[in-house]
Amino acid sequence: MDAKLVNPFVSAVESVLPQMGFQAPKRTALSMRQKNVAGLGVSVIVGFTKQLRGNVVYNMDEETAKFVASTMMMGMPVAEFDAMAQSAISEMSNMLTATAATNLAGMGLEVDISTPSLSIGEGFQLKISDGPYLTVAMDVGGHPLEIDIAVEKQ
Amino acid sequence: MEKVKIMIVDDSRVSRTMLANELNRTNFDVVAQAKDAAEAVRLYEETHPSLVTMDMNLPDADGIECSRRIYDIDPSAKIVMISAMKDASLITRGREVGISAFLQKPVNTNELIDTLMTLCQTEIGKVAVLRDSYAKAFVRALSQGIFSIAGLHSEVQLELDNRRFIDVSGVAVIIGLTGYPQGRAIFYMDKETLHKFSAIMLGKERVDDVAEEEASEAVEEAANIIIGRGISNINNVFKDREVRITPPGTISGTNIRIASPKLTTFRIEAVTPAGNIYMNIGFAEGE
């Protein structure tokens, strides 16, 4: 897959999250991976169609998920990763993906996105493509957020 | 018409029983009865009813506090407050937490049913459309697909799924739906069924002859075919719209919970000789 396709996703994180009260998120690493994505605890998958086809996963541990949910809810303490926190994570994934879709349109790629599906559990495996995919590690207020991107131009 | 799930919260067993009898005779299905706020919150999470009748007097918190806790779990909950007194301050406090309907004891059954129907009407209309126009397309696709792929006959059932999670120990293939309706389809089965079904699909004599990865791939392919067929059924009817499917994302492991906040979801269950195969079709609410 084309490494240039990572930028719209990274800039979505950099532009959307500060509006929701997060300190400037940074990209910390980028790697090309094969085979399955290892679920870190909370993984949200969103699919793409039209000029790009594939999947993107927002992959994080439960601590990060609770931190993100709490920040989105104006700092309300989130002790348990409950329905409201799940809804917040799902909403964040939707916003990031929709912004990435707008960024992709700016590159001349028209895409449609599916609704996010949130998976919770220990040690599950997630296969998102038959070939290699790119993993971007980001730092969001001191918490790690992994974005796995497997999209191909049609 | 589909029955509307309802929960009754009242500290009096007699009141609960009377109300449940009345409601069960009509278009409602009393799925839970709670005697106090703690039980109400727990049962709400378990049964996710479409409506709640809430008594004001509960032993561990009042009806307004109990409603507030339910709205914390589900901001779109529909609650009717029933109280002996119906004064302005109670209504104001109730409205502040989000309650939109108030009735006074003793409740006239017709009045109660009218109120409940009004509260849930928009919901039912939307669900009926999604069920008949879209979810049913996948029922056909699932039974035909299982037969054409594996030669298995199946009994297939469709129901509205109000659970907040799908629990999976085995494999789940998630395929996104884009266009209108936007949503996602999940095709899943437990580990034992995964092995049996993939062995049949791949023409292997023994379940042990199929490697784990090969089994998941077979199920992924089955999901692709079946969900693709369901979408064709939809696109053939609604020619002005085109629904597309995303490539699959396949999750395997044990004790995985898959949640789709804010979707209206349907569960389709196929009982086959190889085990039960499930689909969950979810659509984003509203157009």
Q: How does pLDDT run across B58-100, given as a tens digit for each residue?
A: 999 999 999 999 999 998 899 999 988 777 788 888 888 988 7
Confidence of residue B217 (pLDDT cuts 50, 70, 90): very high
3-state class of A117 per DSSP? strand
Its sign, for the CA torsion B270, B271, B273, B274, is: positive
B183 contacts on A by Cβ (under 8 Å): 114-115
Its sign, for the CA torsion A123, B176, B124, B159, is: negative
Work out the average pLDDT over B239-245: 78
Q: Is B273 on the interface with A (CB under 8 A)?
A: no
The torsion of the CA quartet B160, B166, B168, B171, rounded to 10 degrees, works out to 70
Contact residues, chain A to chain B, C-beta under 8 Å: 39, 45-50, 53-55, 57, 82-84, 86-87, 90-91, 112-129
Q: How does pLDDT run across B140-174, given as a tens digit for each residue?
A: 999 999 999 999 999 999 999 988 899 999 999 99
Q: From the candidates A115, A122, A126, A129, which should be mutated to test the interface with B, based on the most B CB atoms within 10 A? A: A115
Q: Is B250 on the interface with A (CB under 8 A)?
A: yes
Which distant-in-sequence residues (6+ apart) come within 8 Å of B51 by Cβ? B4, B5, B6, B7, B28, B78, B79, B80, B116, B119, B120
Q: Is B265 on the interface with A (CB under 8 A)?
A: no
User: Does the predicted model carry a pTM greater than 0.95?
Assistant: no
> Which pLDDT score, from 0 to 100, does residue B241 have?
67
Place of tokens 């300190």: A23
A91 contacts on B by Cβ (under 8 Å): 261
Q: From the candidates B45, B174, B216, which should be mutated to test the interface with A, based on the most A CB atoms within 10 A? A: B174
Q: How does pLDDT run across A69-102, given as a tens digit for each residue?
A: 999 988 889 999 998 899 999 999 999 999 999 9
Contact A123, A13 (CB under 8 A): no
> Which pLDDT score, from 0 to 100, does residue B120 have?
75
pLDDT for A125 beyond 70: yes
Angle at B73 between CA B71 and CA B75, to 5 degrees: 45
Q: Is B53 on the interface with A (CB under 8 A)?
A: no
* Residue A78 backbone dihedrals phi, psi, to 5 degrees: -120, 100
Q: Which long-range contacts (CB under 8 A, 24 or more apart) does A68-76 make?
A: A68/A22, A68/A92, A68/A140, A68/A143, A68/A145, A71/A20, A71/A21, A71/A22, A71/A141, A72/A20, A72/A21, A74/A21, A75/A21
Contact B135, B267 (CB under 8 A): no
pLDDT for B37 beyond 50: yes
**Element of type H or E holding A127:** strand A125-127
Amino acid of residue B181: P
pLDDT for B1 beyond 60: no
The token pair at B41 is 């919150």
Place of tokens 């993107």: A56
Q: How does pLDDT run across A24-39, given as a tens digit for each residue?
A: 899 999 999 998 999 9
> Which pLDDT score, from 0 to 100, does residue B30 have?
94
Distance CA B234, CA B183 (A): 14
Query: Three-state SS string across chain B, please?
Result: CCCEEEEEECCCHHHHHHHHHHHHCCCEEEEEEECCHHHHHHHHHHHCCCEEEEECCCCCCCHHHHHHHHHHHCCCCCEEEEECCCCHHHHHHHHHHCCCEEEECCCCHHHHHHHHHHHHHHHHHHHHHHHHHHHHHHHHHHHHHHHHHHCCCCEEEEEEECCCEEEEEEEEEEEEEECCCCEEEEEEEEHHHHHHHHHHHCCCCCHHHCCHHHHHHHHHHHHHHHHHHHHHHHHHHCCCCCCEECCCEEEEEEEEEEECCCEEEEEEEEEECCEEEEEEEEEECCC
- Give the closest-approach CA distance of B178 to chain A in angstroms: 5
Contact A138, A16 (CB under 8 A): no
A82 contacts on B by Cβ (under 8 Å): 73
> Which pLDDT score, from 0 to 100, does residue B123 have?
64
The token pair at B206 is 């023994």
Confidence of residue A13 (pLDDT cuts 50, 70, 90): very high
B284 contacts on A by Cβ (under 8 Å): 115
- Contact: A49, B174; criterion CB under 8 Å: no
Confidence of residue B286 (pLDDT cuts 50, 70, 90): very low
Confidence of residue B287 (pLDDT cuts 50, 70, 90): very low
